[in-house]
Structure 1
Amino acid sequence: MTENIIARRYAKALFSLGAKIDGEPKGKARGKKKAPEEPPREKFGTDLNTLAETLEASPELLRVMANPIFSAEEKRAVLGKVMEKLSPHPMIVNFVGLLADKGRLVYLPEIAAYYGVLLDADKGIVRGELVTALALSKAKQTAIKKKLEKQLAKTLMLDFDVNEDILGGVVLKVGDKVLDASLRAQLQMLKEKIKRGE
């Protein structure tokens, strides 16, 4: 739980900083006209995800980041090599340096995940998953997604999954809410009622 609070604080701070940078005027001080760049908040999210994926794909690298034997400077040096290949936004380079100084690099995957939640909320996007016992046709998936978007009044990024163990019905997860209308859940409730003698 503490880790989650720490990750959320860092993600919120970075998101706020990205919002300030997004709001800055892009006048002559910025130089010649270039192709439109990804807005800083979105670039931060992309860079955080790339770094988090790199750390998670290399468990030994994550262990080095969590090991107190290595100094902040050593961790910065290792991450510096990684970031040279990824070329993140300069603010992300500074942010990762701060995490190294504070001994918080191990939270980078959680920070990236929560940053994504903040970015989605800012764009009015909700993510969810619909689990069914049988695969749904594309037409049925589209119809369900449209109906849920209408009810939520938000854009829904919905993943569809099949799990035969639910026997029938659906399990819908949207944001932090779960609706378990599966046959397995209903049978479990019936079993509990029988045990209680109802």
Structure 2
Amino acid sequence: MTRTQWASVTAVVLALLFAGAATVASAGPEPGQVAPVADSADAGFARDMSVHHQQAVEMSFIVRDRTKDEEVRRLAYDIANTQANQRGMMLGWLDMWGLPKVAPGVEPMAWMGMPSHGAMPGMASPEDLDRLRAASGRQAEVLYLRLMTEHHKGGVHMAQGCVDRCRPGVERDLAQGMVDAQESEIRLMADLLKARGAKP
């Protein structure tokens, strides 16, 4: 098995392992522990990462239709499938905690104690998405890999924030799984870009 194939398998296995654990376990409060409040790290992470994941799913569906390359299409499918499942879990936790999925007046990333100025790290711009929709073949592959690399770097930053700030439990475990899986996928995408003669 090549390094690229191994990185891909590792990323998927890690993501599914933590997603499976989070599905089986309850993210409800431990006995004697109250549910997270709206401005907690737990709630902020669930809200912000759900939005972040949604864009990754969108970009992955776009590139799937813009290239016939099986390696990139397989990666896009894995990212879309994993992140859609994780997003569903996080939105489900917010429902279980009785908290809103959108917090009007609350800046993204406020739970990390950092100003976001309305934007989360790694998010592609509307112009970036338009360029991806207009591209095809190798051009679409390279643009997707570059955008998703930056997206994953932002996702790792956010997930590490939950690892450091969220209470112990399945949400923090899922965040650690995101860190591990997305760092592995970043290395895989660097290999895919190199194979296409492009820089990250």
TM superposition score normalised by structure 1 = 0.27
Which one has more relative contact order, counting CA pairs under 8 Å at least 6 apart? 2
More helix by share: 2
Greater C-alpha Rg: 1
More strand by share: 1
